Amino acid sequence: MEYDWIGMNHVPPASSSTPISKDAFIKDLNLVGQRLTQQVKVDTPRHTVYLQGIRVRNGNTLEHLVRNVLCEKEADAALAMCTQTTLAAPLRALTTSLFPHDLYIGEQEPRGTFVAQINIVDYTHVTVLVKKSLDVVRTGVTKPRRFRHIKLEIKYSTDKPFVMIELTSKKIRDD
């Protein structure tokens, strides 16, 4: 799949916001059924996931709680948004734009945590906020050279027709 549809073709000097069709974004995650259950089970313990402000560390528990409150479609979307897969489209778009310049996206030092916050308003309305901090880097002789800190925020809401991807960037040193 081409990731130009995401509209993210460069790292902004400060910040940018990109709305993406909610249906297209969720479809691109390609997480349904057992694949979704397995990804939630694997990702939840290694991420920081909050449900209604309470930390949930077990994927089975997270899935049980979300599915007991939300209808199936909304539960599937909320759970999918809490997986590492959520970062795929934005990171592929950025990687595609950075590669010709011999740059790539790397983990921050210390490693930035993937944080997902689920807030259920009622049986059909849920919001999910995902945050991840990364760096733009270039391969160095002994270790990667870091140029920019990037903070990626992905905002999902059942009452909006789009997923909002916000990217902020801060220069570390002269490029």
pLDDT of 174 over the 70 cut:
no
Rounded to an integer, the average pLDDT of 103-114 is 75
Which pLDDT score, from 0 to 100, does residue 27 have?
92
Which pLDDT score, from 0 to 100, does residue 139 have?
78
Q: What is the pLDDT of residues 136-160, one digit of tens each?
A: 888 777 877 787 888 999 999 999 9
**What is the residue type of 157?**
S
User: Residue ranges of the domains in the chain?
Assistant: 14-171
In whole angstroms, what is the distance from residue 57 CA to residue 50 CA?
Answer: 9
- For residue 9, the tally of other CB atoms under 10 A from its CB is 12
